């Protein structure tokens, strides 16, 4: 029995094949196909099975991560999207929260609403915050709105009414009417996508869900068809932003939950690896072709967030707390109007890609800088499968950067890398130091195709003493997909002061959430014995604007109320540095995560009989302090557990390259991870 994990990136699509019993692992990588990501998946799965002589019937599980939804929003390529809402509220998407995240940067523009104003239709209806109906739904208004949207060729419709999270009846009836008039439209309700208060975030999340829905349906249809065409008969799963898996049908209904699909898998995989090898405190450092994703793992557990912005649009759904910046191997370099060097956030992507890839790229990238300094193999990568055009990369770097700045090639290339490292270091501090964590007690786990190339410079700049490079780091997100369970988050708002009566209502809310969770797990065909549930309550002190999430366990009896109050004060103190025990507590949301456990292959120790000998040598530039140094080049598969290597050296493998600087040494642990100490 085998399991396959697939991560679709901006430049490459990564695949990991794991034997379900032994844990034996095979890694594979193919160029992404942005016009249809499922093409690369089909090619990769087919090549894996062909090269290793596998019967498709032996594939018992396939999961994948995708950035399709995020890319649709970033590139504004989603469906023609409309909003039907309560009379007087169609401009919520424009009004927002009236905050300016960049107070002094007048070049920053608020992104246009995903549903244009002419396609935001108001209808007469009103539900009170208690859930009582103040004004019945005017069905004639709904029909007029639907007819107008049909005439304009709208493809997707978000239905968002005020306080529908307390009473969804009007939204549900509106869907029935709209479906009669627009039978082929993609329709979603805010009471299903995000049934909690704060209308701006609820409207924004639901509209984004509608915006990407039709295109995601097309992609998922292609994905399923190509998996079946490859001979795999198991229904595939998709990882979503909270680090769990969803069926294809669930993704069709809630594509907004996949906005951090691939990166979340990498964090979950890193946390699982860290727990096994004895590093519970990690900073994840995932550098791909288009972006760098960083996150914090404390005491073996990934950090989670209730909301974030996706391309400038608020999305409120539980997700792994990942900070993303536009800095990856394909990030373009350019001179700005003042003659200063800029790196990213624009990327060459998979097509045309860096100049050194020989696919038509003309503007130099970070990858071209690495090639020019010979840190990245100047002949071929991907174990020799992909040739590198080093002369073209150097020529572009000279023409576009070095000559314009009056620098030599090496200084220009190193400058590009240092700028990228500085941007990456700021992202790491944003999720760690700025939140009160001491990075000297963490290790940096570097993955993604370009992570190990930047890891030592970034760790040194952030004061992180240890760098860990897992096996085939470019496929870490794909590995993480095979280390997670099926899961889905349910929420119900109940805004009330914490007292005995409120606690009774909370108990009822959780009973209802448990019923919803069981229905969902039934649809996902999860056996009862494999089900788990995690509950928490969002609460705050009266008068505050934002909540603290507090886990709750066991029966919700009178004793649990007292425990919850004490836990809330402690959680508030940990989050904000203080607590006010005499101040009343206000309950906001009840949340439950439904989990369906999936059998996972064990993390297998490295079984290697490598000779630990370099397979060659090449000159590498290590800055003005060292210049060009002859450096042994090792193939990672030849390194056995326990071997120790002193820098300068290069360790190459199919999916990535690790550069060991002079003065640092590296050991290979029992599981094949490279452990580099900077002290």
Through-space distance between the first and last CA atoms of the chain, rounded to whole angstroms: 43
Convert the pLDDT of each residue in 609-665 to its tens digit.
Answer: 678 999 999 999 999 889 999 999 999 989 999 999 998 999 999 889 999 999 999
Q: Could you tell me which residue, 388 or 288, shows the higher pLDDT? A: 388
Q: Could you tell me which residue, 2 or 528, shows the higher pLDDT? A: 528
Band (pLDDT 50/70/90 cuts) for residue 60 is confident
Average pLDDT, the chain: 90
Q: Could you tell me which residue, 109 or 483, shows the higher pLDDT? A: 483
Query: Is the four-CA dihedral 241, 246, 248, 251 of positive or negative sign?
Result: negative
Cis upstream peptide for 352 (omega within 30°): yes
Name the percent of the chain lying above pLDDT 70. Answer: 99
| pLDDT higher than 90, residue 439 | yes
3-state secondary structure 2-46: EEEEEEECCCEEEEEEEECCCCCEEEEEEECCCCCHHHHHHHHHH
Please report which residue ranges of 432-540 form alpha helices under DSSP H: 451-462, 476-481, 500-523
Query: Is the four-CA dihedral 561, 565, 566, 570 of positive or negative sign?
Result: positive
Convert the pLDDT of each residue in 252-283 to its tens digit.
Answer: 999 999 887 878 888 988 999 999 999 999 99
Nearest to 658 by CA among 631, 628, 640, 623: 631
pLDDT value at residue 355: 93
| pLDDT higher than 80, residue 150 | yes
Tokens (6 digits) for 602: 């064990």
Tokens (6 digits) for 247: 């069926």
3-state secondary structure at position 206: helix
CA separation (Å) from 552 to 88, 307, 484, 537?
Answer: 39, 21, 22, 7
Convert the pLDDT of each residue in 357-411 to its tens digit.
Answer: 988 889 999 999 999 999 999 998 888 888 999 999 999 999 999 999 999 999 9
Q: Which long-range contacts (CB under 8 A, 24 or more apart) does 564-569 make?
A: 564/498, 564/537, 565/498, 568/539
Cis upstream peptide for 487 (omega within 30°): no
* Domain-wise residue ranges, the chain: 2-72+218-258, 76-215, 488-596, 616-677
pLDDT value at residue 213: 94
Q: Could you tell me which residue, 488 or 24, shows the higher pLDDT? A: 488
Distance CA 62, CA 122 (A): 43
Convert the pLDDT of each residue in 95-128 to its tens digit.
Answer: 988 777 777 777 777 888 999 999 999 999 999 9
Name the percent of the chain lying above pLDDT 90. Answer: 61
Assign a CATH topology to domain 2-72+218-258.
Nucleotidyltransferase; domain 5 (3.30.420)
Nearest to 151 by CA among 115, 188, 114, 118: 118
pLDDT value at residue 534: 94
Convert the pLDDT of each residue in 176-218 to its tens digit.
Answer: 999 999 999 999 999 999 999 899 999 999 999 999 999 999 9
Which residue has tokens 């990166």? 263
DSSP E strands, 161-281: 186-189, 237-239, 245-247
| pLDDT higher than 80, residue 9 | no
Contact, 30 vs 47, CB < 8 A?
yes
3-state secondary structure at position 355: helix
In DSSP terms, which residues pair with 618 in a beta bridge?
Answer: 631
Tokens (6 digits) for 582: 């005499």
Contact, 195 vs 161, CB < 8 A?
no
Burial of 584 per CB tally in 10 Å (0-12, 13-18, 19+)? exposed
pLDDT value at residue 206: 97
Tokens (6 digits) for 15: 């695949």
Domain 488-596 has CATH 2.30.30: no
DSSP E strands, 20-161: 25-31, 59-65, 81-86, 120-123, 126-127, 133-135, 156-160
| pLDDT higher than 80, residue 602 | no
Max mean pLDDT among 60-74, 137-151, 260-274, 472-486 falls in 137-151
CA atoms within 13 Å, Cβ hemisphere of 561: 16
Residues listed for the chain? 679
Least confident stretch, 31-35, 467-471, 613-617, 646-650: 31-35
| DSSP-derived secondary structure for 365-377 | BHHHHHHHTTSS-
pLDDT value at residue 338: 80
Nearest to 231 by CA among 28, 26, 2: 2
Convert the pLDDT of each residue in 291-301 to its tens digit.
Answer: 888 999 999 98
pTM (2 d.p.): 0.85
3-state secondary structure 407-428: CCHHHHHHHHHHHHHHHHHHHH
Distance CA 14, CA 654 (A): 11
Determine the number of helices (DSSP H) and then strands (DSSP E) in the chain. 17, 35
């Amino acid at each position: 029995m085998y399991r396959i994990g697939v991560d679709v990136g901006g430049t490459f699509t990564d695949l990991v094949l794991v034997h379900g019993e032994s844990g034996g692992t095979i890694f594979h990588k193919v160029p992404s196909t942005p016009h249809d990501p499922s093409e690369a998946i089909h090619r990769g799965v087919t090549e894996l099975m062909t090269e290793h002589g596998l019967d498709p019937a032996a594939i018992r599980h396939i999961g994948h991560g995708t950035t399709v939804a995020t890319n649709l929003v970033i590139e504004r390529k989603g469906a023609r999207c409309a909003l039907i809402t309560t009379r007087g509220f169609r401009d919520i998407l424009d009004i927002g929260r009236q905050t300016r995240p960049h107070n002094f940067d007048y070049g920053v523009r608020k992104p246009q609403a995903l549903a244009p104003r002419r396609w935001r239709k108001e209808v007469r209806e009103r539900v009170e915050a208690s859930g009582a109906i103040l004004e019945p739904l005017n069905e004639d208004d709904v029909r007029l709105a639907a007819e107008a949207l049909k005439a304009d060729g709208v493809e997707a419709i978000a239905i968002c009414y005020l306080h529908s999270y307390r009473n969804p009846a009007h939204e549900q009836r509106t869907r029935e009417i709209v479906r009669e008039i627009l039978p082929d439209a993609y329709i979603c309700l805010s009471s299903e996508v995000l049934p909690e208060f704060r209308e701006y975030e609820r409207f924004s999340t639901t509209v984004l869900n509608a915006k990407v829905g039709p295109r995601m349906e097309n992609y998922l249809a292609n994905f399923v068809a190509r998996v079946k065409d490859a001979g795999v008969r198991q229904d595939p799963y998709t990882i979503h932003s909270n680090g769990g898996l969803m069926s294809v049908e669930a993704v069709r209904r809630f594509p907004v939950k996949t906005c951090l699909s691939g990166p979340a898998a990498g964090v979950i995989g890193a946390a699982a690896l860290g727990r096994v090898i004895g590093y519970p405190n990690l900073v994840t450092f995932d550098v791909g072709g288009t972006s760098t994703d960083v996150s914090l793992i404390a005491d073996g557990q990934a950090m989670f967030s209730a909301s974030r912005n996706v391309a400038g649009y608020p999305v409120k759904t539980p997700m792994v707390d990942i900070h993303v910046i536009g800095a990856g191997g394909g990030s373009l370099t350019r001179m700005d109007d003042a003659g200063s060097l800029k790196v990213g956030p624009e990327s060459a992507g998979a097509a045309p890609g860096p100049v050194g890839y020989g696919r038509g790229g003309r503007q130099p990238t970070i990858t071209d800088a690495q090639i020019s300094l010979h840190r990245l193999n100047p002949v071929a990568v991907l174990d020799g499968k992909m040739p590198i055009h080093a002369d073209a990369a150097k020529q572009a770097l000279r023409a576009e950067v070095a000559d314009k700045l009056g620098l030599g090639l090496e200084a220009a290339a190193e400058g590009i890398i240092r700028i990228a490292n500085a941007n990456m270091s700021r992202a790491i501090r944003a999720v760690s130091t700025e939140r009160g964590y001491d990075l000297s007690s963490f290790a940096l786990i570097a993955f993604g195709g370009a992570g190990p190339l930047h890891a030592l410079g970034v760790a040194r700049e952030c004061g992180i003493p240890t760098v860990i490079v897992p096996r085939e780091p470019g496929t870490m997100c794909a590995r993480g997909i095979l280390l997670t369970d099926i899961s889905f988050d349910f929420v119900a708002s109940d805004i009330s002061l914490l007292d005995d009566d409120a606690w009774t209502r909370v108990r009822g809310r959780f009973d209802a959430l448990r019923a919803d969770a069981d229905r969902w797990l039934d649809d996902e065909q999860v056996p009862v014995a494999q089900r788990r549930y995690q509950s928490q309550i969002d609460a705050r002190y009266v008068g505050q604007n934002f909540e603290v999430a507090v886990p709750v366990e066991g029966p919700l009896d009178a004793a649990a109320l007292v425990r919850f109050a004490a836990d809330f004060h402690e959680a508030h103190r940990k989050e904000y540095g203080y607590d006010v025990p005499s101040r009343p507590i206000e309950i906001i949301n009840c949340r439950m995560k439904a989990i369906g456990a999936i059998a996972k292959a064990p993390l297998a120790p490295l079984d290697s009989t490598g000779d630990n000998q370099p397979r060659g040598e090449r000159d590498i530039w290590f800055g003005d302090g060292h210049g060009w140094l002859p450096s042994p080049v090792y193939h990672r598969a030849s390194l056995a557990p326990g071997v120790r290597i002193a820098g300068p050296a290069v360790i190459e493998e199919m999916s990535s390259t690790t550069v060991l600087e002079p003065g640092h040494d590296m050991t290979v642990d029992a599981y094949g991870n490279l452990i580099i100490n900077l002290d």
